[in-house]
Structure 1
């Protein structure tokens, strides 16, 4: 398992650096410090290697969702903060998301990933509405199916424009827009304060 992780992380660095098409198995093996034979033992094709990166990215990102936060809204904001942090520091996460948007061969894995994310985020929105933190005519499913693509777009544009240097303030602004629209006006300062605590106030 340690060698497999080593190979996945080397592959992620290559995929993130040059994309799927330009990545070679030889370059991944060199980056991982293993022979090509050892690499093929774990991943028989480059496609299998890319799918392995996407699968591992899914595991790492889903692990940031916590149901032990003091409120569902806090859990939503904390999850986005955790994933944004990993996009800046974890090559598997950044490469996995890049790959998921890059090629048709990854469509099934990518669709399952987003379906699961939308389902999980919708569940948190359902709890937030039930607790009275949010008040909206939108359904939890509509909120989840909108916020997940919003986050994906925010991080993608941030990557293109600034190499993700503005990612934290961009995600914070996203949450300010969403929560200003759907938070109960009587309690709005609290969820907006959660965003400030998570990301700071820098614009």
Structure 2
């Protein structure tokens, strides 16, 4: 019974911390805000996560795991590399829109790390897919896959900020995923070979 309660408390702490890190960033989130949000004592928090960096690492790791699961699902799709790349971009946009843990991981990676752990969880595969599409002649010869992938990275960073700064429903049906799809299609239009 104690083990079940400990797992539940740990999960509650991670969810509260993700919400705080997502809204306020690493520097703007004191542990006292996390304890208040989770409605637990500081002792309970430090039992599970002795330091703020340990808590942030755990939130980031959880967001990365969720992102890698989505990447794995996209990898299984029976479609062309270019279609997988589009699906991956839209899936990442959906994750950012729907999952606080993933948004927090994205922000924490940017604010705390030189290694871009969250970004690399999907960008490496995106670059690989665009490289395959390029080899298949589905992109103009002068379009470098890495440069296209970098443009997608900027798109995803913009979606992350859009989701964080926008009140849900404030733009009608203009969700982050729809905006990402429109922008992807524009990027692709400029990269397609002329017939």
Q: Give the TM interval when normalised to the shorter protein.
A: 0.7 to 0.9
What is the alpha-carbon distance in structure 1 between the residues aligned to residue 121 and residue 147 of structure 2? 14
Residue 83 of structure 2 is aligned to residue 87 of structure 1: no
Please tell me whether the aligned partners of residues 109 and 118 of structure 2 are also in contact (alpha carbons under 8 angstroms): no
| Cα shift at 1:180 | 0.3
1:154-202 Cα offsets, whole Å, 9 max, x none, are 4324543x3475422321121111110112445xxxxxxxxxxxxxxxx
Q: Which runs of 5+ in 1 are unaligned?
A: 187-203
Residue 159 of structure 2 is aligned to residue 150 of structure 1: no
Please tell me whether the aligned partners of residues 81 and 132 of structure 2 are also in contact (alpha carbons under 8 angstroms): yes
1:171 matched residue in structure 2: 180
CA RMSD of aligned residues (A): 2.6
Please tell me whether the aligned partners of residues 118 and 141 of structure 1 are also in contact (alpha carbons under 8 angstroms): no
TM-score, structure 1 as length reference: 0.74
1:13-66 Cα offsets, whole Å, 9 max, x none, are 122334434433233234335443332232111122122212221221222122
Local SS of the residue matching 1:59: helix
Aligned residue pairs, count: 181
| 1:72 equivalent among 68, 81, 84 | 81
1:6 matched residue in structure 2: 12
Shift of the 112–87 alpha-carbon distance from structure 1 to 2, 3 Å rule, reads closer
What is the alpha-carbon distance in structure 2 between the residues aligned to residue 115 and residue 89 of structure 1? 20
Residue 71 of structure 2 is aligned to residue 62 of structure 1: no
What is the alpha-carbon distance in structure 2 between the residues aligned to residue 118 and residue 16 of structure 1? 21
What is the alpha-carbon distance in structure 2 between the residues aligned to residue 159 and residue 35 of structure 1? 28
Shift of the 42–147 alpha-carbon distance from structure 1 to 2, 3 Å rule, reads same
Residue 127 of structure 2 is aligned to residue 122 of structure 1: yes
Structure number with the bigger relative contact order (C-alpha 8 A, sep ≥ 6) is 2
TM-score, structure 2 as length reference: 0.77
What is the alpha-carbon distance in structure 2 between the residues aligned to residue 42 and residue 99 of structure 1? 19
